[in-house]
Amino acid sequence: MKRIFLPLLIACALVSIPAGYSSSIRSPQTVAGSGVKPGRDDGSGWALLPFSKLDEVNPILQPAATLWDCPLAGGPVAWESLATYNPAAVVRDGRVWLLYRAQDTGNRTSRLGLASSTDGIHFTRLPRPVFYPDRDAMRPYEWPGGCEDPRLIEDERGTYYLTYTTYDGKVARLAVASSPDLMRWTKYGLAFGADGRYRDLWSKSGAVVGRRKGQRIVATKLNGKYWMYWGDKNIHAATSDDLIHWSPVELPAGAPPAKSEAGAGATPGSERLVRVLEPRPGKFDSDLAEPGPYALLTAKGILLVYNGRNYGAKRDPSLPEAAYTVAQALLDPREPTRVLERMDHWFLKPDREFERRGQVSEVVFAEGLVPFGKKWFLYYGTADSRIGVAVCETGKAIR
């Protein structure tokens, strides 16, 4: 659900907070998105902008009728016949790899497929999913709904860590897996499973903080911990020592609980959680804010691409009801729950037919972002049905 950002970003090469980082960044201010007149400052020097949709090739991945023997369905399933969307992306061995969500037309179960490209645009996919509900310990959480909406990041050794949503048909729960090659996966269970209070918390969309290292995005500790942004009503935060076991960031002892949530994406039991970003009346994200790809550490701060939904009586009237669009925020590496900047306007919105019509209408939803060659490629789901790409061609570097 988004439009994308640009520069040749020279992200910090440190394992923690960038050298020379100044906490004296100006206070939050209005930042114009692509919906305003050209020539205005639409990022105040911190946002990744602008990106252009590649209309000549979009959508780059569509449903296919390929059959595969599902271990739980008891026979062949056209595992990506209904939809292919919401991809994570990495660069490996000179190719862009998409780990994407696919659904069948039977149970509408979600599984993750894998596709690769030498140019970031034309993809060849494997004939079978690489990650799916199986006869394992995660079956109670993943069946029949499936494995949804992946996000990817690497560690220093090149191991890939996957955060994904399990769905049992009732509750969405954030889970973690790892792989040496994107094909062989080890499931570790629920991200918040070690804490019984949050085992059944509605949780999803885990965007881990990382830095750019060449064409890789490597998970980076801040103040001795890995950090992750997550949630799909309010955006929350969590910390980890190992990229596997995560602890949600809670309000200080004695602080009053947050106001209970309501509506789609509400997270019962979240009253003690810190809210990093909340919906804003009258704006494109009036109903919901949800992390996009990994969060990128730069010398300006932590750049978070996020998705917003426009809904309700206090929505932005310039956008369709329930439209998903994409924006960016900047957070403080010294205090990762503190917002330094936040765009007042979307920079990617649904305006092509395949973005406006599908399983869910009026949706562009960003989940994959990679530096490849001399460009940035942003991959996004369209109407919960297809995959599109937008490319950043030029622009000043973010240092």
Of 70 and 34, the one with more pLDDT: 70
Confidence of residue 36 (pLDDT cuts 50, 70, 90): very low
Is 147 a residue whose pLDDT tops 90? Answer: yes
In a domain, 361, yes or no: yes
**What are the start-end ranges of the H helices in the chain?**
139-142, 353-356
In a domain, 14, yes or no: no
The phi and psi torsions of 66 (rounded to 5 degrees) equal: -60, 135
Q: Contact 397/48 with Cβ under 8 angstroms? A: no
Give me the mean pLDDT over the 360-365 stretch: 98
Query: What residues does 305 pair with on adjacent strands?
Result: 328
Please state the domain count of the chain. Answer: 1
CA pair distance 144, 98, nearest whole angstrom: 23
Check which CATH number belongs to the domain holding 194 and give it: 2.115.10.20
In a domain, 24, yes or no: no
CA pair distance 388, 127, nearest whole angstrom: 20
b/e map 182-205, b = 16+ CB within 10 Å: beebebbbbbbbeeeebebbbbbb
Q: What is the largest CA-CA distance in the chain?
A: 60
Q: Contact 72/133 with Cβ under 8 angstroms? A: yes
Query: What residues does 61 pair with on adjacent strands?
Result: 387
Identify the CA nearest to 153 among candidates 320, 295, 351: 295
∠ Cα 26 228 257 (to 5°): 80
pLDDT at residue number 94: 96
* Three-state secondary structure call for residue 354: helix
Q: What type of residue is 196?
A: G
In a domain, 46, yes or no: no
pLDDT at residue number 155: 98
Residues 6+ apart with CB under 8 A from 326: 1, 2, 3, 4, 292, 305, 306, 307, 308, 346, 347, 348, 349, 364, 365, 366, 380
In a domain, 25, yes or no: no
Half-sphere exposure (CA, 13 Å, Cβ side) for 52?
9
Domain that holds residue 164: 52-392
Is 57 a residue whose pLDDT tops 90? Answer: yes
Is 3 a residue whose pLDDT tops 50? Answer: no
Of 29 and 265, the one with more pLDDT: 265
Mean of all residue pLDDT scores within the chain: 88
Residues 6+ apart with CB under 8 A from 220: 12, 14, 15, 16, 209, 210, 211, 226, 297
Give me the mean pLDDT over the 209-215 stretch: 96
Tokens of 186: 């080890």
In a domain, 298, yes or no: yes
Q: List, for residues 68-127, the tens digit of each pLDDT value.
A: 999 999 999 999 999 999 999 999 999 999 999 999 999 999 999 999 999 999 999 999
Provide the CA 42 distance to its chain's centre, in angstroms. Answer: 22
pLDDT at residue number 14: 31
Give me the mean pLDDT over the 161-173 stretch: 97
Give me the mean pLDDT over the 32-61 stretch: 70
In a domain, 399, yes or no: no
Is 141 a residue whose pLDDT tops 80? Answer: yes
Percent of the chain with pLDDT over 70: 85
pLDDT at residue number 264: 53
pLDDT at residue number 28: 30
b/e map 324-361, b = 16+ CB within 10 Å: bbbbbbbbbbeebbebbbbbbbbbbbbebebbbebebb
Whether residue 59 is preceded by a cis peptide bond, meaning omega within 30 degrees of 0, is yes
The phi and psi torsions of 173 (rounded to 5 degrees) equal: -135, 135
Confidence of residue 263 (pLDDT cuts 50, 70, 90): low
The size of the chain, in residues, is 399
- Residue that has been written with the tokens 């990022």 in this structure: 43
Confidence of residue 394 (pLDDT cuts 50, 70, 90): low
Q: Contact 78/128 with Cβ under 8 angstroms? A: no
Q: Contact 316/284 with Cβ under 8 angstroms? A: yes
pLDDT at residue number 98: 98
pLDDT at residue number 262: 59
pLDDT at residue number 261: 66
Of 34 and 191, the one with more pLDDT: 191
In a domain, 250, yes or no: yes
Q: List, for residues 271-320, the tens digit of each pLDDT value.
A: 889 999 999 999 999 999 999 999 999 999 999 999 999 999 999 999 99
Tokens of 234: 């309010």
Is 225 a residue whose pLDDT tops 90? Answer: yes
Which of the 8 DSSP states describes residue 25? P
Half-sphere exposure (CA, 13 Å, Cβ side) for 131?
35
